[in-house]
Every structure is written in C-alpha cells, then in structure tokens.
C-alpha cells in the first residue's frame, strides 16, 4: 500500500475501534477522503483492506458499512481466537526466555495497577492487555500463527468486550494473566493452553451476556 493508503487505513480503522464510526454506520469514500486528508483512491484501497479484515462489510446494494456481527459471528470469532491463542500460549511456554518473562510480568503489573483504581483505567487496560497478548504471540515464534491471530484480535470486539467488564472482571483478567505467566515460567504447555482457553472463553461469555438480542 502507498503511504497515503496506509494513512487512510490507520485513520479509518481508528474511527471504527474508537466507536466514532459505530457498527452498522455507512462509509463513503468522499467523506472519508475529507477526514483522512487524502484523495479517494487511497481511501478505496484502505477500504478494500478493511473489508478483507472484516472491519467493513458490503450490503446487498453494495454500500459499505462498519461491520456489526451476529451472535453466530461473535461465537465463531471467539472460538477461533481461543483455539489460536491457546496454541500460541502452549508454544510460548516451551520457547519463552527469561527476558520475555520479565516483560510479561511488568506488563501485567501495569494492568493490575490500572484496574485496581477506584475508577478502573480501561484505556490503559486495553493498551497493556493488547501488549500482553502480543508478547505471548511473539514468544510463540510462529509468523503464520501471528498473521492468523491479527485478523481476529484486532477486531473492535476486543474493545467492546472490555467496555462490558466491571472492576471484578478486569481484575479477574489480570489474575488469569498472572496464572499464564506461572505456566510459562514452569514450561508447562498444557497448563498455558488451558489457562488461555479459559481466558478467552470467559471473555466471550462476558460479552455475550451483556449483548442484547
């Protein structure tokens, strides 16, 4: 992609992730070109990429809309994510080095501090949670697995899930991260796989229970 296309992609993706372009809202090349400060051609290229990554869908009339997933869509996305991230955790447990364990502990300490406040710092939780999972995926040392996960973990569903968490759920997430660190430190792939599977499945049920329809 050209620099202009990359800029348009990042800007449009940010609009979707932040909720400024909510699920089901229409997307037009002209309006997005004005927002991104580029011509319509880079916007068109960016939208094609976003459509391939399932951020954007096309209606029967060929209008582009911000994706809004059904319960079946969400269930499949979380199921696939649980399978892939559990595999990543198992691989990471057998390959992780001491420095990476230090990074994981520091990252989870920041998560614990953020969610332990009287008013949980969800923005910091989101940034550090993403970083935590990225460290695990990197430690798994599988470019193919990383590419597959990127199409799922980068979905706005992650942000929408966190928005439905109360302080207890956020703290539970940090606790599960701590258990995953223990599994990796013990080089126990089965333990790491089980913790990650439960972690993602719990996130799915929290999201599903709070989603109407």
Q: What is the 3-state secondary structure (H, E, C) of the chain?
A: CCHHHHHHHHHHHHHHHHCCCCCCCEECHHHHHHHHCCCHHHHHHHHHHHHHCCCEEECCCCCEEECCCCHHHHHHHHHHHHHHHHHHHHHHHHHCCHHHHHHHHHHHHHHHHHHCCCCCCHHHHHHHHHHHHHHHHHHHCCHHHHHHHHHHHCCCHHHHHHHCCCHHHHHHHHHHHHHHHHHHHCCCHHHHHHHHHHHHHHHHHHHHHCCCC
Average pLDDT value for residue range 1-9: 87
Same-domain pairing of 15 and 108? no
Same-domain pairing of 109 and 35? no
Same-domain pairing of 47 and 96? no
Same-domain pairing of 164 and 185? yes
Same-domain pairing of 198 and 108? yes
Range of the domain at 26: 3-66
- Report pLDDT digits (tens) over 44-82: 999 999 988 778 988 889 899 998 877 787 788 889 999
Same-domain pairing of 202 and 152? yes
Of 48, 66, 84, which closes a domain? 66
Residues 6+ apart with CB under 8 A from 206: 161, 164, 165, 169
Same-domain pairing of 162 and 109? yes
Output the CA torsion sign for 66, 72, 78, 83.
negative
- Report pLDDT digits (tens) over 76-118: 888 999 999 999 999 999 999 999 999 999 999 999 999 999 9
pLDDT of residue 175: 96
Instruction: State residue 17 phi and psi, 5-degree precision.
Output: -65, -35
Q: Which residue has better confidence, 187 or 209?
A: 187
Same-domain pairing of 48 and 94? no
Same-domain pairing of 62 and 82? no
Same-domain pairing of 139 and 39? no
Same-domain pairing of 17 and 95? no
Same-domain pairing of 27 and 97? no
Give me the CATH number covering residue 146. 1.20.120.530
How many domains does the chain fold into? 2
């Amino acid at each position: 992609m050209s620099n202009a296309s990359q800029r348009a992609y990042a800007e449009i993706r940010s609009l979707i992730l932040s909720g400024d372009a909510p699920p089901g809202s229409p997307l037009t090349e002209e309006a997005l070109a004005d927002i991104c400060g580029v011509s319509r051609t880079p916007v068109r290229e960016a939208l094609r990429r976003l459509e391939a990554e399932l951020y954007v869908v096309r209606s029967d009339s060929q209008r582009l809309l911000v994706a809004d997933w059904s319960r079946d869509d969400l269930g499949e996305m979380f199921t696939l994510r649980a399978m892939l991230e559990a595999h990543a955790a198992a691989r990471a447990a057998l390959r992780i080095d001491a420095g990476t364990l230090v990074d994981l502990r520091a990252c989870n300490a920041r998560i614990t501090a953020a969610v332990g406040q009287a008013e949980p710092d969800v923005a910091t939780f989101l940034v550090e949670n993403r970083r935590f999972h990225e460290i695990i995926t990197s430690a798994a040392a599988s470019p193919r697995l990383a590419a597959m996960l990127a199409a799922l973990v980068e979905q706005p569903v992650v942000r929408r899930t966190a928005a439905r968490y109360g302080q207890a759920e956020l703290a539970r997430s940090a606790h599960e991260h701590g258990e995953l660190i223990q599994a990796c430190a013990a080089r126990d792939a089965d333990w790491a796989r089980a913790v990650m599977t439960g972690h993602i499945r719990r996130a799915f049920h929290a999201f599903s229970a709070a989603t109407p329809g």
